[in-house]
Amino acid sequence: MKSFRDPVHNLIAFTAADGLLVDLINSREVQRLRRIRQLGLSNIAYPGAEHSRFVHSLGVAHLVRRFLDAPTRDYFDAPGANVRDFRHLAMAAGLLHDLGHGPFSHALEAITGVRHEEFTTALIRSPQTEVHQILEARESGLAHRVAQVVERRFEPSRAVVKLLSSQLDMDRTDYLLRDAMMTGAGYGSFDVEWMLHVLRIGEADGDLEVGLDLDRGMSIAEDYIMSRYYMYLHVYFHRTTRAAEMLVEKVLERAREIKAELPGFTALNRLLRGDLRLREDALADYLDLDDSVLWTALHFWSRERDPVLRDLAGRLLHRRVFSGIDVADDAEARAVQERMAERARAEGLPDRYYVILDEAKSSAYTDSYLSGGEKRTPSEKIFLFDRRGAATELSELSFIVQAVRDKHMRARRILCPGEWLDG
């Protein structure tokens, strides 16, 4: 019924048995994801990173189906996993898990104060959206159950939840492979075919977990962890990308402060007024926000009478983002901030817009496994299962993972105009 050529998975095809997925793909809410880049502003550092959240969502649904339909599933799966009983539910959740993402990746969340997952579940549950109507036409209550999977609260099958949201899930599997390919960062790739072959569902610490076969999964587990580590370190925490994201926040903050609303831009104006919340009357306007809306606004603002907004918007448009000064601790950060703040005041500029403390750390991408600590839940571990179903946590067997697990990924910088650093 529907097929897509994909650079990561080659061919993604949905047959007549997957009619629900085809209908969801054609909904306006899912099609909107074509207009939102998966990596937000990372293309400012990696020019090839032009892929959308739409193609990532297709990839996740595809991987969920491949996992569920693999012929080796039954032999190793734990009793009670019953993932195949929820095949269409799991695939729908995989397709819709990023439905509530706004433009410019996570930068918008700092302005709305609402996480994209909350918008996702609100849109799935809203009777006004096409995705809700399609799900309910298939089965009464299906929309609510899909939202529960996204929220990690679907109790009839914890395995379905972990398939989409855990340390070894189909969401992370797709975005690591896709982001590595599109950025050209080869260290982010791993053998997904072998991973799918050795994935297992088992019981650990009293809960069902998606893990790997003990005899054949160790090497791919290590590759997966190292790929994540390097992708966070070199791509997701890239200093130029981070500087661009901070600049977006400052542009929107300044536009809000001076009330730089634009005629005809209803959704954007509501955003600036702080009126885009999880209310039914705001969801339709939220769906009107995509990358093109913000880029168009930046063009208008680059001609604003206000010199601060005009300058900041122009910097984003023409890739003149701020430069970063690495600082080792809070004391050095304060000293550099004060020095740069004096420079801003000498230039007649408000230092809160031109001197920014940027702290990139693992918690910004919610990766408890790599950041260590004793409070990891079962869903923040990776397990290896033997043929009897006994589970062993990966770091107990792998010296590579032991070394990486407690190595914090953190960058602390003071961002300011690069021309201030000359000389």
Tell which residue, 105, 106, 27, 18, has the closest CA to residue 64: 18
Question: What is the C-alpha separation between 374 and 394, in angstroms, rounded?
Answer: 15
Question: What is the C-alpha separation between 407 and 401, in angstroms, rounded?
Answer: 10
Q: Are 67 and 196 in contact (CB under 8 A)?
A: yes
Q: Which domains does the chain have, with CATH numbers?
A: 2-238 (1.10.3210.10)
Query: Does residue 365 carry a pLDDT above 50?
Result: no
Q: For position 375, what pLDDT does the model report?
A: 42
Query: Does residue 302 carry a pLDDT above 80?
Result: yes
Q: For position 369, what pLDDT does the model report?
A: 47
- Radius of gyration (C-alpha) of the chain in whole angstroms: 23
φ, ψ for residue 63, nearest 5 deg: -65, -40
Query: Does residue 201 carry a pLDDT above 70?
Result: yes
Q: How confident is the model at residue 111 (pLDDT cuts 50, 70, 90)?
A: confident
Question: What is the C-alpha separation between 4 and 305, in angstroms, rounded?
Answer: 46
Question: What is the C-alpha separation between 298 and 278, in angstroms, rounded?
Answer: 26
Q: For position 173, what pLDDT does the model report?
A: 96
CB atoms within 10 A of CB 370: 21
pTM above 0.85, yes or no: yes
CB-facing half-sphere around the CA of 400: CA atoms within 13 A: 11
Tell which residue, 109, 69, 111, 107, has the closest CA to residue 88: 69
Give pairs for 111-114: CB < 8 Å, separation 24+. 111/249, 111/252, 111/253, 111/256, 111/271, 112/271, 112/276, 112/277, 114/276, 114/277, 114/278
- The torsion defined by the Cα of 52, 54, 57 and 61, in degrees rounded to 10, comes to -140
How distant is the alpha carbon of residue 102 from its chain centre?
11
In Å, how far are 26, 76, 77, 137, 159 from 388, measured between CA atoms? 43, 8, 10, 42, 18
Query: Does residue 408 carry a pLDDT above 70?
Result: no
Structure tokens at 348: 């007649």
Query: Residue holding tokens 């036409």?
Result: 137
What mean pLDDT is predicted for residues 155-162? 91
What mean pLDDT is predicted for residues 78-96? 88
Question: What is the C-alpha separation between 135 and 304, in angstroms, rounded?
Answer: 45
Higher pLDDT, 390 or 109: 390
Q: For position 370, what pLDDT does the model report?
A: 47
Average pLDDT in the chain: 90
Tell which residue, 357, 309, 318, has the closest CA to residue 337: 357
Q: For position 30, what pLDDT does the model report?
A: 98
Q: How confident is the model at residue 73 (pLDDT cuts 50, 70, 90)?
A: low
